[in-house]
């Protein structure tokens, strides 16, 4: 507003009228568009409300406290047939977050490997990676999910003919069954050791970094850190005993009882999402690496550094600045794409809430609004984190 | 500048145009010249509403669409079929995308009240059941504790399943799919021990399995599922028309009026109810807002309820459903039409 006033007052007495003032016109049109948009939004909200009332459709979020009464097969926290719709929403949300988080990690690892492989000097590896990218990118995700679920996992043997792996693991159509430790009192010391090990790894890495800055001497801080994180809990466990009992899967009645079951719906979704997204990430990685001038590599080699070090310490840090922004949208895509899970029976937030709950309660507007809000918030959080990371790795000029 | 003005004008036009256009459904349908009828989608349910190999929709529910079109236009083919999944069906009706819903939907209290719908009749009395593979050796649903059950989302089925397992203290593992096709396929592949939906749906889905004969439908019926057509709440004239189009088919069966003898009955029957129904006496059609030959057209072009039943789901079809509860009340069933008088 101040710009307008300054301009206007500065022009007092001049021959330029207000409607020919560029700033004033810009402000006027923006206000007009914003006003119209507001009017339109208000109309839609009002119209929805009026129509809902006219059709006698109940509205409000009170239904969330009602008893859901349907089963959800895959849950991270407790849920029973007497839980509320709000609880069902939480289960769906946690499932979405779990599969998205694991999918992001897996697709990143796979994408980087394939992306770098595409640039390999080895003809076969480069071509295989190129074929992988082109095939995966050009098949719709839903088709891939259905392929993994109905095409691959469904062809596993039935429960009674399970593939027996050392009588510890069982693989069948109902998923992968593995032994699971049931923790006993006194187990707490192991996670403490793990935390100490992780802290130690951070300290070692900081120390190694400083030493290299001062003396130029490199230190294998990665391996030392890994040793600390894995070794310390192991040593503590051996000294004080691992206080846990193993629960083994056993065939009883219709299914296996005990142990830990990974549902085929979950596996199919995770594999499908990770592979699909990894192909896109591979292209991001390839373009990012190619964006770094070849001179950088040549300079590194001329200094006598090994190829691996050149890639890791010279090329990738510069490539990351190109890779990270599109990587963010791939993470967002993966998260949103997880909603296709409804077609292969995995209960994530869309299936549980925008599907079953919506239909049981008939609260379409509320259920869809909440679901959209959830995806919006998840996306904004991912976006904010990736932007922070992007600034963090941006080239610092000294 | 010009563009902005036009945009503003267009936006305002939208705002004011949508405001108040709420004529009666019957007038809308007559003006449109075609009936928008919501049926089972995306791929249909054999026997109730599904496209045949030539793309023509057939089925018990589809016959309701055709009956209403015959009543309004005198032409049972003036129907546009809108295939709807279980999740979007009610929204499509509420929003006016379809004129009425003929898609094996269960009449429940909450749907009748909360959803702003009116269920006008029951064209199939059903109940939810279970199908299992014979090799499992299960003979009762009570033995299903710990079993994995495949189910389709967006139906009354999911909650009935929960209620049944809860009241019988059984342990439930359900796997929920978007469409009946996927749920059936997962069951067929062995992902689940049992498949649950309405008993009529089980009969229909069983015909689609790899080896239909290897599967049995358990005797327990765990719920009441009165399936019938639904219209929007508040347009009673329209509700009356859909309701009586169905009743005309029932009354037709009751008095033995068939596609074959309807002309003869109209010309020579001396039963006053038959004469009223077929438009030879009184003005039944006028009262419903359509032509007096409405019921004649329905029976002539679609047939009576019994004919429709036998043609679509009866014992001579792959579904092989017995009349059971859907027999006329005079023969021990529940189908009962108030008198056309």
Using one digit for the tens of pLDDT, what is the confidence trace for B196-237? Answer: 999 988 988 998 899 988 999 999 999 999 999 999 988 999
Q: Is the pLDDT of residue B313 over 50?
A: yes
Q: Which tokens is B256 given?
A: 């033995």
Three-class SS of residue B223? coil
DSSP, residue by residue, A320-351: HHHHHHHHHHHHHHHHHHGGGGGGGT---HII
Residues A153 and A281 sit within 8 Å (Cβ to Cβ): no
Q: Is the pLDDT of residue B21 over 60?
A: no
Residue written as tokens 């062809």? A155
Calculate the average pLDDT of chain B.
Answer: 89
- CA of B293 to nearest chain A CA: how many angstroms apart? 32
Interchain CB distance below 8 Å, A55 and B233: yes
pTM: 0.77
- Position A32 scores a pLDDT of 94
- Position A51 scores a pLDDT of 76
Fold assignment, A85-179+248-355: MetI-like fold (1.10.3720)
User: What is the 3-class SS of B45-76, one letter each residue?
Assistant: ECCCEEECCCCCEECHHHHHHHHHHHHHHCCC
Spatial distance between the Cα atoms of A277 and A265, rounded to a whole number of angstroms: 18
- Position A268 scores a pLDDT of 93
Residue written as tokens 């496209």? B51
What confidence tens digit (pLDDT) does each residue in A23-66 have?
A: 888 899 999 999 999 999 999 888 888 877 776 666 778 888 88
- CA of B111 to nearest chain A CA: how many angstroms apart? 8
- Position B6 scores a pLDDT of 54
Residues in chain B closer than 8 A to A32 (CB atoms) = 4, 8
Task: Tell me what the mean pLDDT of segment B107-111 comes to.
Answer: 87
- Beta strand B173-177 with B57-58: parallel, antiparallel or unpaired? unpaired
* Residue B289 region by backbone torsions, left for phi larger than 0, else alpha for psi between -120 and 50, else beta: left
More confidently predicted of B95 and A251? B95
Task: Tell me what the mean pLDDT of segment A172-188 comes to.
Answer: 78
What confidence tens digit (pLDDT) does each residue in A122-165 have?
A: 999 999 999 999 999 999 999 999 999 988 888 888 777 778 77
- Beta strand B215-217 with A250-252: parallel, antiparallel or unpaired? unpaired
- Position A20 scores a pLDDT of 81
Interchain CB distance below 8 Å, B111 and A362: yes
- Position A278 scores a pLDDT of 96
Q: Is the pLDDT of residue A197 over 90?
A: no
Measure Cα distances from A55 to B96, B101, B232, B283 in Å.
11, 16, 8, 32
Interchain CB distance below 8 Å, B177 and A40: no
Calculate the average pLDDT of chain A.
Answer: 86
- CA of A61 to nearest chain B CA: how many angstroms apart? 14
Confidence of residue A381 (pLDDT cuts 50, 70, 90): very high
Q: Is the pLDDT of residue B158 over 60?
A: yes
- Position B9 scores a pLDDT of 53
What is the percentage of chain B residues whose pLDDT exceeds 70?
93
- Position A4 scores a pLDDT of 47
Q: Is the pLDDT of residue A202 over 80?
A: yes
Residues B129 and B218 sit within 8 Å (Cβ to Cβ): yes
What confidence tens digit (pLDDT) does each residue in A254-303 have?
A: 777 777 888 899 999 999 999 999 999 999 999 999 999 989 999 999 99
Confidence of residue B7 (pLDDT cuts 50, 70, 90): low
Q: Is the pLDDT of residue A251 over 80?
A: no
What is the residue extent of each domain of chain A? 85-179+248-355, 188-245
Confidence of residue A398 (pLDDT cuts 50, 70, 90): low
Interchain CB distance below 8 Å, A81 and B94: no
Residues in chain A closer than 8 A to B154 (CB atoms) = 355-356, 358-359
Residues B151 and B183 sit within 8 Å (Cβ to Cβ): yes
Three-class SS of residue A139? coil
Question: Residue A129 is inside which H or E element, if any?
Answer: helix A123-137
Residues B91 and B79 sit within 8 Å (Cβ to Cβ): no
Confidence of residue B17 (pLDDT cuts 50, 70, 90): very low
- CA of A376 to nearest chain B CA: how many angstroms apart? 23
- Position A14 scores a pLDDT of 58
Whether A39 contacts chain B with CB within 8 A:
yes
Q: Is the pLDDT of residue B18 over 50?
A: no
Q: What is the DSSP letter of B104?
A: E
What confidence tens digit (pLDDT) does each residue in A275-286 have?
A: 999 999 999 999
Task: Tell me what the mean pLDDT of segment B90-107 comes to.
Answer: 91
What confidence tens digit (pLDDT) does each residue in B23-72 have?
A: 689 999 999 999 999 999 888 888 999 998 888 999 999 999 999 999 99
- Position B156 scores a pLDDT of 81
The contacts of residue B102 (CB under 8 Å, 6+ apart) are: B37, B38, B39, B49, B61, B62, B64, B65, B123, B229
* Residue B116 region by backbone torsions, left for phi larger than 0, else alpha for psi between -120 and 50, else beta: left
Q: Is the pLDDT of residue B4 over 60?
A: no
DSSP, residue by residue, A27-96: HHHHHHHHHHHHHHHHHHHHHHHHHHHHTT---SSGGGGSB-----S--SS---TT-BHHHHHHHHHHHH
Sheet holding A175-178, edge to edge: A163-165, A169-172, A175-178, A260-262
Whether A45 contacts chain B with CB within 8 A:
no
Q: What is the DSSP letter of B178?
A: S
Q: Is the pLDDT of residue A243 over 90?
A: no
Spatial distance between the Cα atoms of A221 and A218, rounded to a whole number of angstroms: 9
What is the percentage of chain A residues whose pLDDT exceeds 90?
40
Whether A14 contacts chain B with CB within 8 A:
no
Q: What interhelical angle do B2-17 and A22-54 show, nearest 10?
A: 10
Preceding omega of B183 cis (within 30 degrees of 0): no
Spatial distance between the Cα atoms of B148 and B161, rounded to a whole number of angstroms: 12
């Amino acid at each position: 507003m101040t710009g307008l006033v300054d301009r206007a007052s500065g022009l007092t007495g001049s021959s330029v009228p207000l409607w020919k003032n560029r700033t004033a016109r810009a402000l006027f049109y923006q206000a007009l568009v914003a006003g119209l948009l507001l009017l339109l939004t208000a109309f839609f909200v009002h119209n929805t409300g009026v129509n809902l009332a006219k059709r006698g459709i109940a509205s409000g979020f009170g239904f969330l406290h009602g008893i859901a009464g349907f089963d959800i097969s895959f849950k991270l926290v407790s849920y029973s047939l007497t839980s509320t719709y709000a609880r069902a929403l939480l289960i769906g949300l946690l499932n979405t977050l779990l599969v998205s988080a694991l999918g992001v990690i897996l697709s990143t690892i796979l994408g980087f490997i394939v992306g770098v492989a595409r640039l390999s000097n080895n003809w076969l590896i480069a071509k295989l990676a190129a074929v992988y990218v082109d095939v995966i990118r050009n098949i719709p995700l839903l088709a891939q999910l259905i392929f993994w679920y109905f095409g691959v996992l469904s062809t596993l043997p039935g429960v009674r003919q399970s593939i027996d792996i050392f009588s510890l693991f069982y693989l069948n159509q109902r998923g992968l069954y593995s032994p699971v430790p049931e923790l006993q009192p006194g187990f707490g010391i192991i996670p403490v050791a793990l935390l100490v090990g992780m802290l130690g790894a951070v300290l070692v890495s900081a120390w190694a970094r400083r030493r290299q800055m001062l003396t130029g001497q490199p230190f294998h801080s990665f391996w030392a850190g890994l040793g600390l994180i894995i070794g310390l809990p192991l040593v503590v466990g051996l000294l004080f005993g691992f206080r846990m009992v193993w629960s083994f899967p056993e065939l009883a009645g219709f299914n296996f009882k005990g142990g830990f079951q990974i549902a085929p719906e979950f596996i199919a979704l995770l594999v499908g999402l990770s592979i699909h997204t990894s192909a896109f990430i591979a292209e991001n990685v390839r373009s990012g690496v190619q964006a770094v001038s070849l001179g950088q590599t040549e300079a590194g080699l001329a200094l006598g550094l090994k190829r691996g070090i050149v890639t890791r310490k010279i090329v990738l840090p510069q490539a990351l600045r190109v890779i990270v922004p599109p990587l963010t949208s791939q993470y967002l895509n993966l998260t949103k794409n997880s909603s296709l899970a409804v077609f292969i029976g995995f209960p994530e937030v869309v299936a549980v809430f925008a599907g079953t709950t919506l239909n049981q309660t008939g609260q379409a507007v509320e259920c869809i609004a909440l679901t959209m809000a959830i995806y919006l918030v998840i996306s904004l959080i991912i976006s904010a984190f990736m932007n922070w990371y992007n600034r963090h790795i941006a080239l610092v000029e000294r | 500048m010009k563009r902005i003005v036009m945009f503003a004008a267009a936006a305002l036009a939208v705002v004011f145009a949508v405001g108040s256009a709420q004529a009666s459904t019957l007038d809308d349908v007559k003006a449109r010249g075609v009936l928008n009828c919501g049926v089972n989608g995306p791929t249909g349910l054999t026997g109730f509403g599904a496209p045949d190999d030539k793309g023509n929709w057939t089925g018990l529910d589809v016959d309701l669409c055709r009956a209403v079109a015959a009543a309004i236009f005198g032409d049972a083919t003036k129907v546009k079929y809108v295939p709807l999944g279980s999740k979007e069906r009610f929204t499509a009706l509420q929003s006016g995308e379809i004129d009425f819903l003929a898609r094996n939907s269960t009449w429940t209290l909450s749907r009748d009240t909360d959803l702003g719908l009116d269920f006008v009749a029951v064209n199939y009395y059903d109940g939810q059941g279970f199908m299992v593979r014979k090799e499992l050796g299960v003979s009762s649903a009570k033995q299903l504790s710990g079993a994995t059950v495949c189910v389709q989302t967006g139906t009354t089925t999911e909650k009935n399943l929960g209620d049944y397992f809860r009241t019988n203290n059984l342990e439930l593992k359900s796997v929920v799919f978007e469409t009946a096709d996927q749920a059936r396929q997962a069951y067929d592949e062995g992902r689940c021990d049992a498949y649950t939906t309405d008993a009529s749906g089980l009969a229909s889905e069983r015909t689609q399995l790899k080896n239909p004969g290897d599967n049995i439908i358990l005797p327990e019926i765990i719920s009441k599922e009165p399936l019938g057509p639904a219209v929007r709440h508040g347009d009673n004239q329209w509700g009356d028309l859909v309701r009586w189009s169905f009743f005309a088919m029932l009354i037709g069966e009751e008095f033995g009026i068939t596609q074959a003898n309807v002309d003869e009955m109209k010309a020579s029957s001396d039963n006053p109810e038959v004469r009223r129904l077929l438009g030879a006496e009184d003005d039944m059609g006028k009262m419903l807002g359509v032509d007096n030959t409405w019921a004649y057209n329905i029976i002539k072009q679609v047939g009576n309820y019994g004919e429709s039943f036998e043609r679509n789901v009866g014992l001579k079809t792959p579904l092989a459903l017995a009349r059971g509860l859907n027999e006329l009340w005079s023969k021990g069933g529940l189908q009962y039409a108030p008198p056309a008088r």
